[in-house]
Every structure is written in structure tokens, then in C-alpha cells.
Chain A
């Protein structure tokens, strides 16, 4: 790895996100340094998910720039993909593949050489006894934990977690908090959207409402902005 995890930084400047024909947020700045946690707060539709997808590179910003250690992210999206783990609303679990097959596929795709990390990841999230179980038999909470096990199965400095605690019980949320804390202690970064049920000590809060767009009629452009 060219950039040691300890020195990395991830920042966005004056980001604008347009979904469909709607401007979701504009003029949004953030920065994450090694060990930082960013907590995205706001009601439904305020753009938390959009911001995380934008950070992941799934959406391109309509304006503004994302940078990693000062380098533009857009220049090399594959390289950026190698630096992140993205956990979205869907758990991406194939019903006919076993737990270990599901996890090992994503770990390999992210460059994991061996399977010992996948085993450790399953154990950590309390899924080791289910390793040979097909995905279709898992409960919603187990699926979510399997999805989160990707975080540990292959290393990546930046975690982007969209409502990761959905479907998790209290004990599992504690495990998730521990995992995030260890990741940050090791120099990792995390951005989380949550309804504030995950405890992230020292995490910075980002209120999406501050960047919402209030529509005004722009006579010069002849449109609502």
C-alpha cells in the first residue's frame, strides 16, 4: 500500500448532489482524518444515503470534489473502491450460497488472500456456527451481521455505513460499536448515517439540514434552484 492508513485523509469540498431533477444538498464540506468518525444526521430524504453513496463513488457529485490525501477521487475510481467498504440498505446476500461463500466472495474481490480473516470475521459477529448455512435461512439480523462481516474480512481504511444498526439487537449493536472503535484506533475512518442509536465517542456530527436547498425562483436562469 502506497498510503499508510495512519496518514490518510478523506475530504469533500462544496459538494452538490442532484437526484433525478432534485437538488438534495449543496455546498456541503466535510473532512475525515485517520481515526475520525462522521455521523450524518437528518430526517428521511435529507440526503444521508446520497452523501454516503457519493463518498463511495456510486454517485458522481453534480459539483464539488472528493479528495483522498489531497488527490481527486474521481481520477481513479477503482483505486478509491479498494479503499472503502460500503454497507447500504441491501445486504447483498445470495440465498443459495452459504454464509462463508457469501463472505469469502466479497473478501476475495477486495483482495483478501486467505480465508482466515473471513473465519475470524464470522466469529466476531457471532456467525461462526452458521458458516455452512445457506443465506436464505438467515434472519434479517443475521443477514445484516453477515453484511457487516465484510468490514473485517478484508481491510479498508474507510467505512461507509448506511443505517448499519437496522435489524440488529442491542448486543450486536455493542459489537458493531466495538468493531468501529478498534477500526478507528487502528487509524481507520468511518462515516455513519444513523438515528443516533450507535455510540461513537468523539464522532463529529453533520446535520444534513444545514445543506438543504431552499427553492428560490432564479429569474436569470429561468428555473427553480
Chain B
């Protein structure tokens, strides 16, 4: 009972904060859109080239956008003293962390998924890849939030946390990137993307219990 109440309470608070501060989700999506739009300027507007690299561009950019939004996962709570009170809840700290990660995904991962098909159109992605792109992002972006939570907790109180976070997290994002792009490319070329999607699902299942646990340990040592 108390677990559910804590989980719901933390999610409600996080969503309310995101909604009132407003700009956070919009900034993440804006970054996503703007960065994707840079690519045609960088590699030329030829349809066949853009089509070929569209899945990769969308995933790499989504990865970066997700990572850039991580600093608000724990940092503001750490600065204003909320985080130490959150660790002093009568329910397991992991529940609080899972709730925060879930809220983070709802406010950053989900908007990315909504924006992705529009950007896929801009990049001339083959129509066969659209559904798979959405499925792959639905399975992959929660893993990004989960893995990222470890990094976000580890850099609390560190000097130059932002740059450090990218160094810690981006290598760990590579498996999600590989299978996310793989799924879309397979669908575009007429193969079944199931194997890739299943691996993405497996990655999520592994990350779901392990990452909140590691992130909780990292938060505890950060406030100690």
C-alpha cells in the first residue's frame, strides 16, 4: 500500500513540477528538432542520403536529447535539500527513484517519441520504418532514462557535472543505439525487426531492476 502511495505521490509531484516549470519538456523536444534539422545542412539535402541515415540520426539525436535532460532528474532536489528528505522516506528509496525515472521518461522520453515521426518525414525515412521507429523508441527510451539515472546520481556534487555526465553515460547508451537503429533499418529493408525489438525489450527488462538500485546507491553516497 505504502509503496503504491509513495510511487504515485512522487510521480504526481514530479509531473506537477515539470508542468509548472513548463519549459523543460519543450526544451528537450526543441533540441531534438533543431539538432536533426542541422543534419541536412551538414550532409546535404539529397533524398537518398538522408533516407539512408535517417534512423541513425534520429536515434543519436534522441540519445543526446535524453542525456541533456538528465541533469534535472536529481540535481535540483539535491541543491534544495529535497533529496536528503526523499532518502528518509519510510518506503524503500528504490521506489522513489523508480518514480522519478518514470516521471522523467513521461516528460522527456514520451515527447521525443511524439516528435520522432515528424522528423522522420523531414529526413525522408521510408514509410515502412515508421511503426518500427515508434515501437523501438517506446522500448528504448525508458532504458535511456534508467541508465542515465545512474550517471545523474553519480555526478551530484561533482565539478563540471554536465560534461562528466556525457562521458559516463554515452558509452553505456551504445547497445540501445545499436538495436534501436537496427530495428528501424531492418524494417526499412523489408526484414523482420522482431529480433532487434526483442533485444531492446530484454535490455529494458535488465535495466528496470538494476538501474534504480544502482542509482539509489549513488544517491545515498552523494548525500552522505
Contacts and interface: CB of A to CB of B under 8 A. Distances in A.
30 contacts: A56-B88, A58-B84, A58-B223, A58-B224, A78-B89, A78-B90, A79-B90, A81-B87, A81-B90, A86-B88, A88-B81, A89-B81, A90-B79, A90-B80, A90-B82, A91-B81, A92-B81, A92-B85, A94-B13, A94-B82, A96-B16, A96-B20, A97-B16, A101-B16, A105-B9, A108-B5, A109-B6, A109-B10, A109-B90, A111-B2
A16 to B, nearest CB: 15
Which secondary structure characterizes the binding site on chain B? helix
Given A105-B13, A108-B9, A111-B2, A93 B80 contact: yes
Given A92-B81, A97-B16, A101-B16, A110 B223 contact: no
Nearest to B90: A82
A94 B80 contact: yes
Contact of A106 (B2, B85, B92): B85
B150 to A, nearest CB: 20
Nearest to B13: A105
A59 B90 contact: no
Interface in A48-93: 56-60, 78-79, 81-82, 84, 86, 88-93
B17 interface: yes
A96 B86 CA distance: 18
A109 B87 CA distance: 11
B224 A59 contact: yes
Which secondary structure characterizes the binding site on chain A? loop
Given A58-B223, A96-B17, A105-B9, A110 B82 contact: no
Given A90-B84, A91-B80, A105-B9, 5 more contacts: A78-B90, A90-B80, A90-B81, A97-B13, A110-B89
B17 A97 contact: yes
A91 B81 CA distance: 6
A86 B84 contact: yes
A157 B121 CA distance: 60
A160 to B, nearest CB: 10
A111 B1 CA distance: 10
B91 interface: yes
A92 B82 CA distance: 4
Interface in B162-181: none
